[in-house]
Amino acid sequence: MPAVMLQGAGSNVGKSLLVAGLCRVARRRGLSVAPFKPQNMSNNAAVTADGGEIGRAQALQALAAGLAPITDMNPVLLKPESETGAQVIVQGKRLTTVRARAYSALKPQLMAAVLDSFARLKSAHDLVIVEGAGSPAEVNLRAGDIANMGFACAADVPVVLVGDIDRGGVIAQIVGTQAVLDPGDNAMIAGFVINKFRGDPSLFDKGYAMISNRTGWRGFGVVPWFADAHKLPAEDALDLPKAQGKGGVVVAALAFSRIANFDDLDPLAAEPGVDLVMVQPGQPIPAQARLVILPGSKSTRGDLAFLRAQGWDIDLAAHYRRGGHILGICGGYQMLGQVISDPEGLEGPAGEAKGLGYLDIATTMQADKRLEQVRARHLASGCAFSGYEIHIGRSTGPDCARPFAQVGGVKEGAISPCGRVTGSYLHGMFGDDGFRAAYLAGLGIEPSGLRYGAGVETALDALADHLETHLDCDALLALAR
């Protein structure tokens, strides 16, 4: 049951997208293929059918492979809560919260879980395509490594190194990686790929040959910039659109410092009649916004303080006075209430914070995390839609008597007496075409007929075509052992 691994000569070189494309390529060849990432660091998580969570990138890769996402596809997920600390998710469940220095001591015991999940995937599929994290060139982190060469050596998986030419210095990226790796790790690398080339790839022929001659590694191709990448869910908050300028109705979303599950916004960004503006730190909320979205957060009280530090609370008050609408999702929902209490210090120091006061609710953080895929019904429109919950807070109060949705027999969310402020714990709602059209119609935005999920599938097919054209996919997949 073979496997091959893509590692990066640096961070954000496009590994996640390449793995997704290769999963679709392998699936087209009739192979049962699964994605795998030993360790991911992201606050953009997907909830699996078995009630766990994995990185959103692995959920997209699973879609490319024609599979439902499962926790074994990403056995270790780190969810940053501060500059120096992160929540550690192991095989879908929270293990602990640690500071960066303490995580190094924890890594050796996590390798068993990583290899356990990998073994299950290998036994169930013809091929596993593995994605590394960061870069193996970070040799200061090699001891106890579970994400790159530590995993590749332990599992005996051959490696293809990916370099990002768009950033410049790609020759040094790849040749330099070989220079700093020890001989055992270098022996695991079978070749390289150049990614994100703009212009005429033949202009890099000499550089490509130089890398091959210097390293002795085989090149598998030069991949031009994939123009439709924006049609796929963003993995990193840095990849979210800053402004679109399509001439549509402005919907503003606040770019929190610990923004989480921000792929909620991707379907809105794809709507022809919507200009989604990600309001960056230090920028004002656009006065012309019809809707302001407070998205999810991995540190609700921390990002509430961040919101106030940007002056967004003042802008939000002006937006509300002008008759604008406000939607809070998950952590953003909690911020809209009267108070947020964290008596056990689950998201930072124990204590409480005063909310923004737009909803008459109070939130208490609790250790039992809710992780569930759900079917809901939007009460205002009657539209049914799929979504998921991923939160530790519980919110109650008078405004919950005006719920946003119904999940089974339970009322969910809250709406203000004026009807213009809404809060909900439901992620993924805008991915449903019927609900999105109904919600936007309530804001006076004409339905476009956009089929978002179909667009993602089309983009994955285009990505596979792109890789088939520019990579020697047969040779690359043949490396698997």
* Active site members: 330, 427
Token digits of residue 128: 């596993």
Angstrom distance (rounded) from CA 138 to CA 349: 32
Selection from 278, 331, 284 nearest residue 303 by Cα: 331
Lookup result for tokens 């449903």: 432
Buried b (16+ CB within 10 A) or exposed e, 296-305: bbbbbbbbbe
CA-to-CA distance for 132 and 144, rounded, in angstroms?
15
First to last CA, the chain: 7
Cα(104)–Cα(119) distance, integer angstroms = 24
Distance of alpha carbon 452 from alpha carbon 129, whole angstroms: 26
Strands, sheet with 414-415, edge to edge from the N-terminal-most edge strand: 274-279, 249-254, 291-294, 325-329, 421-424, 414-415
CA 102 to chain centre: 25
d(CA 294, CA 330): 9
Find tokens 């990226």 and name the residue.
173
